Chain A
Amino acid sequence: MRLMPIALFLPYLANTGGWFLAEFGRQPWLVYNLQTLEEGVSTVVPASSIVISLVGLVLIYTLLMIADIYLLAAGARKSPELLGAPEGKEGSLWT
């Protein structure tokens, strides 16, 4: 049982690992046997726009991850009785 909290991270590891496998495994193809990564690069969107969007996405997802971890930790600390509380009290989804 003491090992169980570690298992929390395993699905994320498996999920991320799967994506790494899919994305790196098919290099240099973007669409397997049809289009390479270099052929797929946009000729219209400037590199600066790509940088802006990449930084923007990394930022917003980092913020969301921090907020998520905070909320999950706060939720985990609550006693089980509170989670089943009647509506309007703590534990209700819409208050």
Chain B
Amino acid sequence: MDLNILWFILVGVLFIGFFFLEGFDYGVGMLTPFAGKTDGERRVVINSIGPFWDGNEVWLITAGGAVFAAFPHWYATLFSGFYLALFVILLALIARGVSFEFRSKVASPAWRKLWDWVICVSSFLPALLWGVAVSNFITGVPIDANMEYAGTFFTLLTPFTLLGGVVTFLLFLYHGAAFLSLKIGDEAILERVGRIGRVSGVVLVPVTVAWVVFAFLTTGLKSSPVALAAVAVAAVALVLSVVLAWTKHWGVSFIASAVTIAFVTVTVFAAMFPNVMISSLNPEWSLTIYNASSSPYTLKIMTIVALCLVPIVLIYQIMNFVIFKKRVTQDKLEY
């Protein structure tokens, strides 16, 4: 296996890590005003992701960094072409990051309510836009012969990509509800997130099926055996997860929803392979893992560095989850 394929897979793995981890904390963010009715309850909900959310976000930065270093043309085309969409995500992430901190600094109810809603909206926007973005990965976008994006912001918004946005929004909402069901020790909140989780799961299934059928009919999904296998695994895991949510087996349900997220991501990456940015104008203008990559020497150095550092990152992130594994209640907010 050459290094170009290895780095394509590694970028995919980083996106899986990002969507799995940040998926539940976007979900928790969106649920904050609905899962918690009182100030104390909302604090419990936020504290359930308190030790994790910023570590989760690092996966996106790493994925972006890996794309930049391994496939600079992919990075350039993606970030210039999706400029405004990524800018909206950036604004949301800035607002989201500060609202967790600002919320507690003033005791006034109006101040706290304001930041609770900022958390909700700034979690919702990226949750929706990531689905739009990855849907565009597999449909392709107008890219000219010079590897440059030839559309506008609105070219990215089609019925299929917006449906993809609804899928990730519901998927992350559901995943977040499953996470809260495992992390909270407060009965009133558990009752609410359980209900939201079960209902959003039931809505999620048909929406996801519609997106997959749409993708099967209009994109390269059908010609990739790996993508087809991955989408089958994702479908089974999703249905299993929702059934387990209704029988209140949240632990296994959460694992199954994580598997769903992972395999939806595999589906997207497999469907575009060996392209990294598909041109909807002319297939020959697509960016591939070969014409968009760095030099073999750069890839080699990156491989050595990644092999040394990624295990360390994985170890400390897992340690973090083990240390903060207890359920959060109003009496035990700080572990």
Binding site for B on A (CB under 8 A): 42-46, 49, 52-53, 56-57, 60, 64, 67, 71, 74-75, 87-88, 90, 92-95
Contacts and interface: CB of A to CB of B under 8 A. Distances in A.
Contacts of A42: 80
Given A43-B148, A44-B149, A94-B104, A88 B83 contact: no
B80 A94 contact: no
B107 A90 contact: yes
Given A44-B149, A71-B105, A94 B91 contact: no
B43 A49 contact: no
A67 B43 CA distance: 20
* Range, interface on chain B: 20 to 34
Contacts of B102: 67, 71
Contact of A49 (B84, B91, B95, B105): B84
Contact of A88 (B80, B107, B148, B333): B333
18 contacts: A43-B148, A44-B80, A44-B148, A44-B150, A49-B84, A56-B91, A60-B94, A64-B94, A67-B102, A71-B106, A74-B106, A88-B333, A94-B47, A94-B104, A94-B333, A95-B43, A95-B104, A95-B333
Contacts of B98: 64, 67
Nearest to B94: A60
Interface in B68-85: 80-81, 83-84
In this complex, the member of B87, B107, B150 whose beta carbon has the largest number of chain A beta carbons within 10 angstroms is B87
B112 to A, nearest CB: 11
B91 A60 contact: yes
Contacts, number: 51
B87 A52 contact: yes
A44 B43 contact: no
B81 A44 contact: yes
Contacts of B84: 49, 52-53
B284 interface: no
A93 B104 contact: yes
- In order of increasing CB-CB distance, the 5 nearest A-B pairs are A44-B80, A53-B87, A45-B83, A44-B148, A71-B105
A60 B92 CA distance: 10
Given A49-B84, A60-B95, 4 more contacts: A44-B80, A56-B91, A71-B105, A71-B106
Contacts of A75: 105
Contacts of B107: 90
B185 interface: no
Contacts of B54: none
A10 to B, nearest CB: 25
Interface in B83-103: 83-84, 87, 91, 94-95, 98, 102
